[in-house]
Structure 1
Amino acid sequence: MSDPTLASGPAAAVIGPYRHEKTLFTLIASLSVLFWVLLTLGTLGIIWIYMIFIYLFVLMAHSALISHLKGNAVRITPRQFPELHARIEACCQKVGLERLPESYLMTGDGMLNAFATRFLRRYYVVLLSDIVDALEDDQEGINFYIGHELGHIARRHVANQWWMGPAMFLPLLGSAYRRAQEYTCDQYGAACCASLASASRAMAVLAAGTRRWKHMDSQAFIEQSAGTGGFWMSLNELTSEYPWLCKRMARLHDPKASTPRRHPLAWFFAMFLPNAGPGGLVFSMLIWIFLIGMLAAIALPTYFEYTQRIASAPAFAYAETLRSASQRHYESTEELASSPAELGLGPAPEAVKEVLMDADNGQIILSLEGNEKIIQMPYVDEDDQIGWNCSTTLAAAIIPKGSSCESVADEKDAEARKGEALGKLFGL
């Protein structure tokens, strides 16, 4: 069943957006379009094949919420909660919506909220019962929540979120645009209320709860915003998608209300914290922890291999020296040497713990730390020329570039040794 078209009624109110919303929208939209164009060109359009699968996944995931609403929440109709239905209908006309969204009332289990969503081109508005029950003594205040959510629909915040999503992750910009949306929709909510007092009481419920809101002094709450300019409050707001409630109350009363400037140092740190949605600063930090963890997982093994390769380079060079010296000694004396001293070589590098030279077959074994070995084995080819096979128990990635040695290490053993070394690095 399609959403019913509203009958003609009073002219829609003129509701202006929050002063920064249009500017932020232009920036976010431009960056998002640029992102999609570059991604399309960079992947030769293949990205849109993946987008089909992503869309199907999101559709199925979102269908869980819609199915939950249809199966467990109570749909608001002229027959079911007619007074709420009349309020929604009047608010739609007030904000200029031609079609009535499908609306539901459901228990919030103590949550004080309402939300709007979209599924298969149809809009939904959900009111949580705790909000409705809390305003039993000022039911006109319910219009504030209805109007706020309808504002997200009227301003196309819900419809645009998918294609503007990439730029919404940007530090400062993404969260600033979402906060601007909230300020704008508060004005939509106020426009649907019979009085500013009712809108204030509705917002007071969010701050003071379902009972104490009746005794809350709105002006005193507005004055709390004077303390929002400190470093920590500034940083947490800059990384949040929601403004502080005391500031929302101030701008509800006066859209141009002046509030304290945010701390300059908070702006600096917020520049490096991506917008992580409702989670704010905590989720932004988790994103960094996740990224650092991924980079560490890639970089640490590479760094370990690099340090091992540098440390083992003198041992491989010494093995080459032993091989050449041993061959020259045999060609001149027709005897195989049994020690480096016999070849006139000095002490082995620090990386080499022991050198064994077999005077029977010419094999040279260099023992390294961790029971690793470099083995040089001579052979005679078809032309009666002496050749050498070099093998090592070290991983292939640790063998210096240019070396003729081949690794005979089992891949699993090499990974286990790498893990053991990393464990020692971190004292595990």
Structure 2
Amino acid sequence: MASIERDELVYPREYTLSKITLILGILFWVLMLAGTFGIMLIYVLIGYVLYLFAQSALIAHIKGNGVEVTEAQFPDLHAQFISCCRTLQINGYPQVYVLQGGGMMNAFAARFLGLQYVVLLSDVVDAMAEHPDGVRFYLGHELGHLRMRHIGKHFLRWPALWLPLLGAAYSRAKESTCDRHGAACSTTPENAARALAALAAGRARWKDINLERYGRQVAETAGFWMSFHELTGGYPWLTKRVARVMGHEASLPRRNRWAGVLAAMVPYGGRIGGAGMVILYFYIIFFIIMVGLPIYRDQLPRLRAHFMYGETATARSALEDYYINNHDVPASLAQIGQKDHLENGDTLALNDHNMAITVTSHNKSMLITPRINKQKHISWYCTPGPGMQAAQMPATCVNGGH
């Protein structure tokens, strides 16, 4: 098979979605790092360490339990692998393993510390025993993920990948790109389509599937619920993938527009899909209530104290002016044009001996006392009264301020 240029193998929307998710992801990280003064870096480091441990466990499992494909071990698979790498212009060959999949029809790619791996589950290899192009398709698909650097490329994009519609669309575009890579490794589009159809019909029935009739099922994907679940999922419907591999993309039906409206309210949840994210919504709301409510209850008195101090600003300013001009304390707030009953129901009381103000709000009181330095500058200090605690006092008031 002749080699194929990379651009021909990339699903057109992937380029656009790749740029959008990268820009939004970087913007998010910049805002988070600036907003948390770099504290977010600690959490990023912890997350990376956890990722290393999880990824190392996967690679260890593959190497410890799988069978490496070499010229001496499964030479037929190795020859197909080398042929596919050459078609896709891949020079540094990844390591290939066959692993018992427990009945799953699948294959996957992995990357760890600069090394790349392609894993074929045994059921795929067995199902494609009479269809060599089938194995090539799965090899090409996973090599596409590595070639396009889909694996381990999500850190900068990660925040944007949760966005409704966008994250799922990017994931589907990548799968379509990799299907093109798989098809490029197959001798004919029909052979590639049959390999994909095995995911639907199983390891035996794929040989008897009528691709034309199966392709007609794609009309069902225009319905509301099928549109919704595809828009919130990371994979195109298999009927669409088969149609695209066969070159029928132009005839695919449009999705239901109202499904797009609903899908725009559901963040992308990866493999758990839209239904899983709706359930996750409830857990998030529950978590916010359970964690946020105690925090709110703790912060509410601080906010109230800050507000109580702030509503005395006019009275404090008037008292300062009076003292500077008269070198004495006024007999009452009324003398300086201030009210002792505020419009919101709070009250102010003036001590005509030391010019301290007591502000009372909802049966909670705060005493605000002036102090005069050598330069005749007045600072105000707060002391908790009934119903309040010292820890709730505003920082500017405790340390002195206007």
TM-score calculated relative to the size of structure 2: 0.72
What is the CA-CA distance between 1:19 and the residue it aligns to? Answer: 2.1
**Is the CA contact (8 Å cut-off) linking 2:2 and 2:87 kept in structure 1?**
yes
One of 18, 21, 27 as aligned partner of 1:28: 21
SS in 1 for 2:98: strand
Counterpart-to-counterpart distance in 2, 1:233 and 1:176:
15
One of 83, 92, 95 as aligned partner of 1:99: 92
Matches within 5 A, 1:25-424: 25-254=18-247, 256-298=249-291, 400-402=363-365, 405-406=386-387
What is the CA-CA distance between 1:164 and the residue it aligns to? Answer: 1.6
What is the CA-CA distance between 1:258 and the residue it aligns to? Answer: 2.8
Mark the CA change 1:31 to 1:406 in structure 2 (over 3 Å): closer, same or farther: closer
What is the CA-CA distance between 1:42 and the residue it aligns to? Answer: 2.3
Which residue number corresponds to residue 321 of structure 2? Answer: none
Counterpart-to-counterpart distance in 2, 1:115 and 1:401:
64
What is the CA-CA distance between 1:295 and the residue it aligns to? Answer: 2.5
Counterpart-to-counterpart distance in 2, 1:283 and 1:91:
37
Residues 7-28 of structure 1 deviation map (CA, whole Å, 9 limit, x = unaligned): xx96445533112111111111
Counterpart-to-counterpart distance in 2, 1:299 and 1:26:
35
Mark the CA change 1:20 to 1:255 in structure 2 (over 3 Å): closer, same or farther: farther
What is the CA-CA distance between 1:400 and the residue it aligns to? Answer: 4.9
What is the CA-CA distance between 1:29 and the residue it aligns to? Answer: 0.9
Counterpart-to-counterpart distance in 2, 1:80 and 1:59:
29
Mark the CA change 1:75 to 1:36 in structure 2 (over 3 Å): closer, same or farther: same
What is the CA-CA distance between 1:276 and the residue it aligns to? Answer: 0.7
TM-score calculated relative to the size of structure 1: 0.67
**Is the CA contact (8 Å cut-off) linking 1:13 and 1:94 kept in structure 2?**
no
Mark the CA change 1:199 to 1:301 in structure 2 (over 3 Å): closer, same or farther: same
**Is the CA contact (8 Å cut-off) linking 2:136 and 2:185 kept in structure 1?**
yes
Mark the CA change 1:299 to 1:156 in structure 2 (over 3 Å): closer, same or farther: closer
Mark the CA change 1:298 to 1:401 in structure 2 (over 3 Å): closer, same or farther: farther
What is the CA-CA distance between 1:192 and the residue it aligns to? Answer: 0.2
**Is the CA contact (8 Å cut-off) linking 1:250 and 1:257 kept in structure 2?**
no
SS in 2 for 1:157: coil
What is the CA-CA distance between 1:283 and the residue it aligns to? Answer: 2.1
1:47 maps to a residue whose letter is M
**Is the CA contact (8 Å cut-off) linking 1:153 and 1:159 kept in structure 2?**
no
Percent identity between the two aligned chains: 44
**Is the CA contact (8 Å cut-off) linking 2:96 and 2:118 kept in structure 1?**
yes
Residues 317-366 of structure 1 deviation map (CA, whole Å, 9 limit, x = unaligned): xxxxxxxxxxxxxxxxxxxxxxxxxxxxxxxxxxxxxxxxxxxxxxxxxx
Mark the CA change 1:51 to 1:296 in structure 2 (over 3 Å): closer, same or farther: closer
**Is the CA contact (8 Å cut-off) linking 2:365 and 2:387 kept in structure 1?**
no
What is the CA-CA distance between 1:174 and the residue it aligns to? Answer: 0.3
**Is the CA contact (8 Å cut-off) linking 1:147 and 1:192 kept in structure 2?**
yes
Larger C-alpha radius of gyration, 1 or 2? 1
Mark the CA change 1:224 to 1:255 in structure 2 (over 3 Å): closer, same or farther: closer
SS in 2 for 1:243: coil
Counterpart-to-counterpart distance in 1, 2:258 and 2:141:
33
What is the CA-CA distance between 1:55 and the residue it aligns to? Answer: 1.1
Mark the CA change 1:11 to 1:223 in structure 2 (over 3 Å): closer, same or farther: closer
**Where do 5+ consecutive residues of structure 1 fail to align?**
1-8, 306-398, 408-428
Residues 255-279 of structure 1 deviation map (CA, whole Å, 9 limit, x = unaligned): 6333222222211111111111111
